[in-house]
Every structure is written in structure tokens, then in C-alpha cells.
Amino acid sequence: MTGRRIMTAEDIRRATIRISHEIVEKHAGTGGLALVGIQRRGVPLARRLAASIRDNEGVDIPVGALDITFYRDDLSLVAQQPIVKGTDIAFDLNGKTIVLVDDVLYTGRTIRAAMDALIDYGRPQAIRLAVLVDRGHRELPIRADHVGKNVPTSREEVVKVTLEEVDGDDAVEIERRPGLAAVGGTAA
């Protein structure tokens, strides 16, 4: 069960602050900027980034939550229908620059689904991607604009992100894939 810890709570905090600076820098300000977290652990991460931007810039930028369940391309492969966790985008994203936020970037399929889902809500000016961990093994031509930590992994490993808001503590660990279990928590 215990894996190798690759980020501590302190590492996550620093990475979040750095990414929040990068987002504002790349966008050259906060006007028309919005964050959308991908359910489930992308959502608290997006909120943390927004809080950090508020601390740095004194501006509140809109934060949304996106559930990509209906857009997954592996619905025919998973054992049971995933539980839908809910989309909550309370702002108009037409013309905005949307930064998608997720915990782990792996095959890129989640992000592909998230872009499809997002576009059903409107036409953003641009979509960018911020992730806490990029573990490689892309299966689609997708890359992140902002990365907390690049971690070389093998496909037999699982990157497990825990966040205080969801799991009670902040950490990123790598463990060997325990059979076919451990689905759901760590995003692909």
C-alpha cells in the first residue's frame, strides 16, 4: 500500500503558487481568465490556484468544476458506469481563456474528453492546461502549459495524488499497480 512519496504537502503548496504565477504571466494579466477543475481532484486544485492568484493579484477569477463522465472514450471498457460527480460552471465561458486543471496528466484522454465537454458549454477564446503531475505516456497529441512536477513513470505504476479537501492530506506517491484495483481515485 505504501508508495514512494514524490511530493510532500510543502512541495504541492510551492508548485501551486508557482503555477498560479505562470498562469497570470502567460495570460499577461487576469482579464478574461477563468479556471475549470476536472472532477474530482482538479476541482480543489483549481480553487487553490484561484486563491493564490487572489493573494498575488488581488483579483477573484471565476472557478468552475467539470465532470467528463459522459465524454469518456473508454465507457465501453470500464467495468461499471462511473458515478457522475457534477459539472458546475456558473460563468459564461464564451471568449474567455480557460485553464483546465487536473491532478495527473497521463494518456491525455481525460483532457480530450474535458475539451469536448467544455466546448459544449460555449466557445472559449483559448483553452490551456495546468496539472500537478505529468507522468508521461501520452496517447494523444496533448501537452500541459503548466506542470507542477514531471515524473518519469512506468505503466505498471500508479501515481496517487491525495488532497486535503478530498482525502484529508496533501501528498503525491508512486506505487506499483495492485492488480486491477485502485481505479477511480487517480486519474489517467
Residue 66 CB, nearest approach to other proteins (Å)? 12
Q: At what angle do helices 42-57 and 9-27 cross, to 10 degrees?
A: 60
Judged by CB under 8 A, does residue 134 bind other proteins? no
**Closer CB to other proteins, 28 or 180, in the complex:** 180
Among 4, 70, 126, 176, binds other proteins (CB under 8 A): 70
The residue with cell 504537502 is 9
* CB contact at 8 A, 159 and 137: no
Residue 185 CB, nearest approach to other proteins (Å)? 13
Total site size for other proteins, rule CB under 8 A: 20
Judged by CB under 8 A, does residue 79 bind other proteins? yes
7's grid cell: 511530493
Among 37, 67, 103, 104, binds other proteins (CB under 8 A): 67
Residue 100 CB, nearest approach to other proteins (Å)? 18
* CB contact at 8 A, 98 and 50: no
Distance CA 69, CA 67 (A): 6
6's grid cell: 514524490
**Closer CB to other proteins, 9 or 119, in the complex:** 119
**Closer CB to other proteins, 86 or 136, in the complex:** 86
Q: Is the dihedral of CA 109, 101, 158, 180 positive or negative?
A: negative
Judged by CB under 8 A, does residue 76 bind other proteins? yes
Among 11, 22, 57, 116, binds other proteins (CB under 8 A): 116
* Residues 6+ positions from 140 with CB-CB distance below 8 Å: 107, 108, 109, 111, 112
Question: Where does this chain bind other proteins (CB under 8 A)?
Answer: 67, 69-71, 75-81, 83-84, 86-87, 116-117, 120-122
